[in-house]
A and B are shown apart, each in its own frame.
Chain A
């Protein structure tokens, strides 16, 4: 899996857009970008994923640069409940794994997002 780099922490005012960057300069052509978050004392939560095109769902938008070396997760109207650690991971297509343990998710340090009232 390609290595990702994220800022350690970020603050965002409640109601404003939260833009969380992720660098993945060694991403290969068929690797996807996935985002998860983990709210304190809860299990990780899948947010969104993409390959080349920008993606949007009910939770967030994902903007991937044309060279695919970086991406930004956008929470359009951050609420206090969005305070969490956000993880960016890069993975091969979902059915490309084989062998023991290759499907396990591995998170880096992530970005601790604090939404401020």
Chain B
């Protein structure tokens, strides 16, 4: 597609439920990043995928968070047993591999609200 797409755009869930957030990166981009942004705050890095390499999970806040990227394209971020502090906008970005770390193209985000 022309840009990074994410779904759903909004997700409201109850505390304790699991959620899955999807990201479709720009075609041909080998690098994919997940961030989250709380209201009025900066970007918080979560996880990074590059090609077939093992992902960098150093930003994941707890073991309730996991992500996978199938076939080097679509990625899914899963949050298990959601908590209210997980409420944020979850942003996905992609870039042209290691040559594009500083030019990341972001999706519109998924706004997650945990009640």
Residues of A within 8 A of B (CB): 32, 34, 42-46, 49, 91, 94-95, 97, 100-101, 103-108
Task: Tell me, in angstroms, the Cα distance from A106 to B43 when the chains sit together.
Answer: 6
Binding site for A on B (CB under 8 A): 4, 31, 33, 35, 42-43, 45, 48, 56, 58-59, 91, 93, 98-109
Given A42-B109, A43-B108, A100-B58, the answer on whether A49 and B43 have CB atoms closer than 8 Å is no
In the assembled complex, the CB of B98 is this many whole angstroms from the nearest CB of chain A, namely: 5
In the complex, are the beta carbons of B102 and A94 less than 8 A apart? yes
Q: Which of A44, A45, A95, A106 contacts B101 (CB 8 A)?
A: A95
With A43-B109, A44-B43, A104-B45 as contacts: A94 and B100 at CB distance below 8 Å: yes
Are the C-beta atoms of B59 and A101 separated by less than 8 Å? yes
Add 11 more A-B contacts to A43-B108, A100-B56 (CB < 8 A): A34-B103, A42-B109, A43-B106, A44-B91, A44-B104, A46-B104, A94-B101, A97-B98, A101-B59, A103-B98, A106-B42
